[in-house]
Amino acid sequence: MTRGSATAVVVTCLALFVFGMFIVMAVGAGPGLLRGMELGGLENIGAPRVGLVTLVGEILVAQPTIESLQKMEKRDDVCAILLRIDSPGGAVVASQEIHDEVLRIREN
């Protein structure tokens, strides 16, 4: 193997490794990007529903979760909101803002 072809093999392997690491990071970050709202299936159309707001990953900003909570609050077919949190923690201010919004919704 010549020196030029050996370099090409090393560069190709390195590029494949870096690409593979990006794929692994994208798959690992996926659940953290799935913050948002869900509703049950279509089996009970018209019946009162429990809205599900899911917060997965580190809590860095509150706004997406607050917006999801507010959307659920405005729905006429949602009689309760379940906030599912799978988080190692995060920013104190963002967590406090989410807490305040939950209390505000609970009082209404």
Digits of tens for pLDDT over the chain (108 positions)?
677 788 888 888 888 888 877 777 666 655 554 444 454 555 556 678 899 999 999 999 999 999 999 999 999 889 999 999 999 999 999 999 999 999 999 998
Q: Residue 12: which domain range?
A: 1-33
| Same structural domain, 4 and 44 | no
- Which pTM value belongs to this model? 0.58
41 with 31: CB under 8 angstroms?
no
| Same structural domain, 28 and 70 | no
Whole-angstrom Cα distance, residue 86 to residue 30?
A: 13
| Same structural domain, 46 and 27 | no
For 23, other C-beta atoms within 10 Å of its C-beta total 9
Q: What is the pLDDT of residue 36?
A: 46
CA dist list (Å): 29 to 6, 44, 85, 88, 98: 35, 33, 16, 14, 22
The total number of structural domains that make up the chain: 2
| Same structural domain, 45 and 20 | no
Q: What is the pLDDT of residue 104?
A: 96
